[in-house]
Structure 1
Amino acid sequence: MALPSLTLSLQFGELADAATHRAALPRHWVIRCIRHALDADAEITVRIVDAEEGQALNRDYRGRDYATNVLTFDYAIEPVVMADLVLCAPVVAREAAELKKPLTQHYAHLLVHGTLHAQGWDHETGEADAEEMEARETEILAGLGQPNPYR
Structure 2
Amino acid sequence: MEIDVLIEDPAWDAVDLEAVAETALPAVLRALDLPPARFAVSLLGCDDDRIAGLNAEFRGKATPTNVLSWPSEERAPSPPGAMPDPPKAPDDGPPLELGDIAIAYATCAREAAAAGKPLSHHLTHLLIHGLLHCLGYDHETDPDAALMEALETRILASLGVPDPY
TM-score (norm 1): 0.86
Say whether the 8 Å CA contact 2:41–2:98 is kept in structure 1: yes
Tell me the percent identity: 34
- In the alignment, what sits opposite 1:47? 44
1:19: Cα distance to partner?
2.1
- Per the alignment, in what secondary structure is the counterpart of residue 123 of structure 1? coil
Say whether the 8 Å CA contact 1:73–1:84 is kept in structure 2: yes
Q: Does 1:82 align with 2:98?
A: yes
Say whether the 8 Å CA contact 2:12–2:45 is kept in structure 1: no
Say whether the 8 Å CA contact 1:81–1:118 is kept in structure 2: no
The 5 A counterparts of 1:24-35 are: 25=17, 27-35=18-26
- In the alignment, what sits opposite 2:70? 73
- In the alignment, what sits opposite 2:8? 13
- Taking the aligned partners of 1:31 and 1:81, their CA distance within structure 2 comes to 16
Gaps of 5+ in 2: 76-86, 89-95
- Taking the aligned partners of 2:8 and 2:19, their CA distance within structure 1 comes to 19
TM-score (norm 2): 0.79
- Per the alignment, in what secondary structure is the counterpart of residue 26 of structure 2? helix
- Per the alignment, in what secondary structure is the counterpart of residue 72 of structure 2? strand
The 5 A counterparts of 1:2-151 are: 6-15=1-10, 17-22=11-16, 25=17, 27-38=18-29, 39=32, 40=34, 41-76=38-73, 78-79=87-88, 80-124=96-140, 126-150=141-165
Aligned residues: 140
Point out 4+ residue stretches in structure 1 off by more than 4 angstroms. none
Gaps of 5+ in 1: 1-5
Larger radius of gyration: 2
